[in-house]
Amino acid sequence: MGVDMAAAQSVDAKALYQQHCASCHGAQRTGLMGPALLPESLERLRPAEATQVIAQGRPATQMPAFADQLGAAGVAALAAYIRTPVQPAPHWSDEEIRASRTFAEAPKDEPAQPLWHADPMNLFVVVEGGDHHVSLVDGDRFEVIARFASRFALHGGPKFSPDGRYVYFGSRDGWITKYDLWRLRVVAEVRAGLNMRNVAVSSDGRWVMAANYLPHTLALFDADLHLRQTYSAATLDGKTSSRVSAVYDAAPRKSFVVALKDIPELWEISYDPKAAPIFDGYVHDYKMGEAIAKPGFLGVHRTPLEEPLDDFFFDQSYRNVLGATRPKSGDGAATAQVVNLDARRKIADLPIAGMPHLGSGITFAWNGSTVLASPNLKGGTIDVIDMKTWKPVASIPTPGPGFFLRSHEATPYAWADSMMSPTAKDTLTIIDKATLKPVATVREPGKTLAHVEFTKDGKFALASVWEQDGALVVYDAATFKEVKRLPMCKPVGKYNVWNKITRSEGTSH
C-alpha cells in the first residue's frame, strides 16, 4: 500500500481513532476488549507490523481490516497516532483498580483435588504467545491436559501459590489472572496498571505485588486480588517518579525486592508480620498495616545506588542482588553490580558485559564454590562468575547470543539458547557444569529453538520451537535425544510447578 505522507498528515487521526478504534481499544487508548494502544505498549511492535495490522486485521482475533474503509493515508495516520503519548497522561487510580476486579465464587462443595489424573507437582504451564493461550502439560506422560485462552500478551514467568494449586499470570497490559490449575477455572482477575512489567507472589501465599511502567506504581493485592495498597514509585521527597523495572519475592527474607528504572534506589518491602522497625534513615514512608500495625511491615526500605537497575536476580541465600543496568545507547556497555541487602549497599562490581534479560541466569556448585552463569548478549558467550570472590572463572563459547540458560540440580548439564543470533537461533548448546565446556548441541534447522525447563526429576528437558506453528520438544536430559514433540502456537515459555515452588537453582523464580 503506497502512502502519501502529506495526505496522511492532513488526516484527523484523533477523530478516526475515536470513530473506528475507541470502542475496542478504549477512548483513552488504555485497552478494553482489544489491547492498549499506548507508546509503552507498542514498543515491541514494529511500525510496519502496526500498519499491516490496521490495514489487514489480525487473523484469529476480532481485529478487522481497515484498508478499504480508510485508505493508505488513514491507516498511516492511525499507525503514527497510536505512537503519540495520550494527553493528559492516562491515570489508573486505586478506585479503577478495585472496579476492574472480577471474582468467581468456587462452586459449592468443590473438592480440593485436581479434575485430571497426573502429578500436580510435575505439571508444566506453557504460555503460547502465538495465539494468547496457555496449555497445561502432564510432565510424566507429556500430554496436554487442558488449553485455555489467556489475556493478550502475557509476559514473564507466571507465579505459583506455595502449594502449586494456583497460578498468577501477568499481561503487558496490566491484567493479573489467578487461575486454579486443579479445577481449571479463572478465580479472579484485576487490572493492576496500564502497562505492567511483572508480578511476584509472596512465599507465604498471602500477597501479590505488581510492578508497573504506567502509572509509576507498585500495586499490592491479597491472594484473591483485592487491592491492599499502591506505592508511588518516587523518591522520598516525591519530586521524581520512576517506572518500576521488576519485583521479585525474596522468600527467605519474607520480602519483595523492587528495582526502579529511573531512580537509583533498590527497594525492599517486608511482608513479615514480625518485621522489625527500620532505623537506618532511609525509611520514613512505610505504611502501617491495619491488621498487624508493626513498623516495617509492608513498608518501603530504600537502598541508594549509583545508578538505576534494569534487571536483577538473587544468589541462593537471597542476601545479594545481582543487578544490571542496560546500556543507554546501542554501543554503550552494560554495567552490573552486587548489592548486599543486609549491608544495604553495593559490595562489588560484576565483571559481565550485561545480563541480557531478567531470569536468564542460573547458579550451581563448582569447584568447591558456587558460581553464577549468565548468557552474555554482547559476546554470545556464557559468563561464569565465582560468587565468593565475584571474579570470572570462565567464558563458555556458544554459537551466538541467547536469552536463557537453564539447568536442574539432578542433571550435570546446563542448556543455553542462541535465539538472538540469525545464524544459530536454531541451536541449543549443552554445557557440562563440571568442566564448563560445551559437550553437545541440539538443533531445529532454520527455526528458533529456545527456553528450556526441566521436569521435576531433572530427567527431561523441554524446549520451545518458537514459531507460530511451533512445538514443545521433549529431550532426554542424559542422551539429548528427542523423545516427544507436541504442536504448540509459539510457546514462549514453560514453567514446571515443582521447580518453581521449590525455587530450583536451575531456573528462574
Q: Which residues bind ligand DHE (CB under 6 A)?
A: 44, 129, 155-157, 197-198, 246, 357-359, 403, 451, 492-493, 508
Q: Which residues contact 273 (CB under 8 A, 6 or more apart)?
A: 289, 292, 294, 297
Q: In angstroms, what is the minimal distance from the CB of 148 to ligand DHE?
A: 19
Which of residues 301 and 500 has its CB atom nearest to ligand DHE in the complex?
A: 500
Task: Find the residue with minimal CB distance to ligand DHE.
Answer: 156
Q: In angstroms, what is the minimal distance from the CB of 35 to ligand DHE?
A: 14
Omega within 30 of 0 (cis) for the link into 422: no
Q: In angstroms, what is the minimal distance from the CB of 498 to ligand DHE?
A: 15
Q: In angstroms, what is the minimal distance from the CB of 62 to ligand DHE?
A: 22
Let me know if 7 is exposed, middle or buried by CB neighbors in 10 A (0-12, 13-18, 19+): middle
Strand order in the sheet with 300-304: 244-250, 255-260, 265-270, 300-304
Q: In angstroms, what is the minimal distance from the CB of 44 to ligand DHE?
A: 5
Report CA-CA distances (Å) from 504 to 404, 407, 473, 508: 15, 9, 21, 8
Which of residues 75 and 208 has its CB atom nearest to ligand DHE in the complex?
A: 208
Beta-bridge partner residues of 266? 259, 303
Which of residues 114 and 356 has its CB atom nearest to ligand DHE in the complex?
A: 356
Q: Which residues contact 437 (CB under 8 A, 6 or more apart)?
A: 396, 431
Which of residues 34 and 402 has its CB atom nearest to ligand DHE in the complex?
A: 402
Residue 68's SS3 state is: helix
Which of residues 40 and 457 has its CB atom nearest to ligand DHE in the complex?
A: 40
Q: In angstroms, what is the minimal distance from the CB of 196 to ligand DHE?
A: 10
Q: 257 and 323 in contact (C-beta within 8 Å)?
A: no
Report CA-CA distances (Å) from 281 to 238, 284, 289: 16, 7, 20
Q: 250 and 258 in contact (C-beta within 8 Å)?
A: no
Q: Which residues contact 164 (CB under 8 A, 6 or more apart)?
A: 120, 121, 123, 181, 497, 498, 500, 501
Q: In angstroms, what is the minimal distance from the CB of 155 to ligand DHE?
A: 5
Which of residues 132 and 165 has its CB atom nearest to ligand DHE in the complex?
A: 132
Q: Choose among 429, 461, 464: nearest CA to 447.
A: 464
CB atoms within 10 A of CB 153: 18
Which of residues 71 and 215 has its CB atom nearest to ligand DHE in the complex?
A: 215
Q: In angstroms, what is the minimal distance from the CB of 359 to ligand DHE?
A: 4
Which of residues 305 and 358 has its CB atom nearest to ligand DHE in the complex?
A: 358
